[in-house]
């Protein structure tokens, strides 16, 4: 009467619950960079709703007109076309021919400029 003796005892490997796979550290994409510079909206020739970059108040800009390059060019054009009849002064009287400066009505800071040319 003989029986085979299961030898060893500690021969089996640990096949059942294998070692947990190491979680690979995923490369984290860098967060999107937001530029710290305030984005000035495109300014038009009229008062417009803007957020002041100085006092951060949502308001309507104050506009001031000043003679710009377009004014002088129009003046020169009128001078050439109409001669010295004084009509070359007309563009200086037309707000639509002048550069527009936008100011904040709250803090009175300069916000931006709308240029007719350039």
Copy the structure tokens of residue 17.
């619950």
- Asked if 40 interacts with Zn ion (CB under 5 A), we say no
- Asked if 111 interacts with Zn ion (CB under 5 A), we say no
**DSSP letter string, 61-96:** PEEEEE--HHHHHHHHHHHHHH-SSSGGGHHHH-GG
- Asked if 55 interacts with Zn ion (CB under 5 A), we say yes
CA distances from 100 to 23, 45, 83, 96 (A): 60, 6, 28, 9
- Asked if 54 interacts with Zn ion (CB under 5 A), we say yes
- Asked if 50 interacts with Zn ion (CB under 5 A), we say no
Stretch that binds Zn ion, among 2-10, 37-45, 50-58, 83-91 (CB under 5 A): 50-58
Contacts with Zn ion by CB under 5 A lie at 52, 54-55, 104, 106-107
């Amino acid at each position: 009467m003989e029986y085979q003796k299961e030898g060893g005892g500690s021969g089996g490997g640990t096949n059942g619950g294998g070692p947990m796979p190491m979680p690979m550290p995923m490369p984290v994409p860098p967060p999107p960079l937001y530029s710290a510079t305030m984005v000035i909206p495109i300014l038009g020739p009229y008062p417009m709703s803007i957020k002041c970059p100085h006092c951060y108040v949502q308001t309507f800009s104050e506009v001031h007109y000043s003679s710009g390059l377009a004014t002088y060019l129009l003046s020169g054009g009128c001078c050439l076309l109409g001669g010295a009849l004084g009509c070359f002064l007309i563009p200086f009287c037309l707000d639509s021919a002048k550069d527009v400066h936008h100011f904040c009505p709250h803090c009175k800071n300069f916000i931006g400029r709308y240029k007719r040319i350039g």
